[in-house]
Amino acid sequence: MTGDSEDPSDGVQYHLAVGPGDVADTVLLPGNPERVEKVVEGWDDHDVVGDHREYRTATGTHEGAPLSVTSTGIGSPSAAIAVEELARVGAETLLRVGSCGAIREEASVGDLVITTAAVRQEGTSKEYVREDYPASADHRVVSALVAAAEELGYDYHLGVTCSTDSFYPGQSRPGFDGFEARGSEENLEELRQAGVLNFEMEAAAILTLASIYGLRAGAVCTVYANRVTGEFRTEGERKAAKCASLAVTYLERMDEAVEASDSDHWHAGLSIER
């Protein structure tokens, strides 16, 4: 933001410290700033273009496809700021890359969860749009993430995510000194019965804002904990990042296939052979 303008779209962004031309069309969104270096490990090249507060941004290429990564910190409020300011400097596709806790037995520690939609059990998106507005992932992004997971040979699950504002009572964990929020166990069981796969803290806001602003978005998370089996291990940390980075290559080829066809949208009849 320039010193003589109150327009948040003007110049370098206040929180992210990036400006027009600093980021690629597609941006990966981990939470932890320290995860940025792990995300770019497999890229062809990269440069850090912004580092302010919890927001660290790098831009480079992966298999020749341009992409960026911006850390968002923990939770939907800071993730929404990242979406706002990345959109202002030209980002068009956003891929949440993180970790999660599974609430169904089939999603084992180390597996990936690719989000198709999210339960909006967070407050940020409610400040943008009515509560019954869906938080849906872009179908092309979901397809690219699935293709990437298949190519990499990763075990993955496709389905609905629940995003919360609280890591402890909001995800039906006990708080300090054994505190239990009212209805937390009932909420957990209701989500399980509805087929919800996992808890995390950012996807719903990212998907909702992207839909409102006409952007594409999706999410892929590595399972660190399984609430049914009681397992917890920080295993497969780099899987989500590798899957998302490769998905960007698929997205680029999918977009090229659409442009070369008579179709307005991606569909299974269009070839994207690698």
Place of tokens 């943008």: 128
Give residue 151's Cα distance to chain centre.
20
Burial tier of 100 (Cβ tally within 10 Å: 0-12, 13-18, 19+): buried
CA gap 52, 12 in Å, rounded? 12
CA gap 92, 102 in Å, rounded? 29
Encoding tokens for residue 266? 């991606």
Output phi, psi for 5, to 5 deg: -140, 140
CA gap 184, 187 in Å, rounded? 5
First to last CA, the chain: 41
Active-site positions read 15, 85, 173, 227
User: What is the 8-class DSSP label of residue 42?
Assistant: G
